[in-house]
Amino acid sequence: MRQIVLDTETTGLEALQGHRIIEIGGVELVNRRPTGRHFHRYLNPERDIDEGALKVHGITRARLHCEPKFREIATELIEFLRGAELVIHNAPFDVGFLNAEFERLPGERVTVAQLCTVVDSLALARQMHPGQRNGLDALCKRYNVDNSGRELHGALLDSQLLAEVYLAMTGGQVVLGLGAAKGAAQAARQDSLAISALRPAGPLPVVAPTVEEAAAHEAFLDLIAKSAKGRCLWRDGQKAS
C-alpha cells in the first residue's frame, strides 16, 4: 500500500477567494514504512500573502519571487500523487487548494479524487479523542513525537511529523525522524530486532500448563462468558477445533 502524507502552506484561508499554494510537502510510505522519497516545493503565488497566513508560516512573497509557479511543477506533482492514498490533516482545506490549482491548468481538468483516495487524519483523531485538542502539536505531545523543531508551520516538516503521528494513531508506529542519520539508525535497529525475532530451526517446544494454571485459565474464561452474556469466543474456538 502506497501512502503520501501531505501538507501545504498558502497565501490565505480561502481558495475560492483566489488564495494560492506557496509550499507543498509530502513524504511517501509503502506498507506503513518510510521509503525516503519525498516531494517538496516552494511556489511563487503571483499574489500577496495575507498577514495572518504570514504569522503562521513566516514565508514572505519576496522569498518566493524566484520560485517556480504551480503550473511548472504540476506534472511532477501529479505523477507523485497518482494512485496513492493521501493522508492529510484537515483534508478539505488542502484538497480544496489543490483542486483550485489544478483547475487553473490548461488542458483537461484533473482533480485530487481522480488521482488518489484521501484520509483526513484530523477527522480520525476527533473520532479517537473526542472533546480533546487534535491539532498537530497536541497530537505530537499525545503520541510522544518530537516536534521541538516546529517554531513555524512548514509543509515538509509538518508532513514528516504527521506521518509519525498517523502511524502511532493507527497502530505500529514507525519513527521517521527528521534527519537521515537518525532515520538510518532507527531502520538498522528495527532490522536487528526483526532478525532476532526469527523462529529458530526445528520444532518449537510445547510447555503444558500446570493444574493450577489450567484452573485459573478456566476461571478467567468463565468471567469473560459471564460479562458477555454466555458467549466466550476463546471457548467457542476450542470446541470448534
SS3 for 63-77, per residue? HHCCCCCHHHHHHHH
**Average predicted confidence (pLDDT) for the chain:** 84
User: 38 forms bridges with which residues in the sheet?
Assistant: 27
Cα dihedral sign for 210, 211, 214, 216? negative
Predicted confidence (pLDDT) at residue 45 exceeds the cutoff of 70 = yes
What number is the average pLDDT over the span 72-91? 97
Where does the pLDDT of residue 146 fall: very low under 50, low under 70, confident under 90, or very high at 90 and above?
A: confident
Q: Cell 480544496 belongs to which residue? A: 96
H/E segment holding residue 125: helix 121-128
Q: Residues 6 or more apart from 113 whose CB is under 8 A from it? A: none
* Residue pair 20/103 in contact by the 8 Å Cβ criterion: no
Active-site annotation holder among 19, 57, 89, 153 = 153
Active-site annotation holds for 153: yes
pLDDT tens digit sequence for 223-240 = 777 766 666 666 665 555
Q: Where are the domains of the chain?
A: 2-178, 211-240
C-alpha cell, 154: 512548514
Give the span between the Cα atoms of 85 and 63, in whole angstroms.
Answer: 31
| pLDDT value, residue 222 | 76
pTM above 0.85, yes or no: no
Kindly state which CATH superfamily the domain 2-178 is placed in: Ribonuclease H-like superfamily/Ribonuclease H (3.30.420.10)
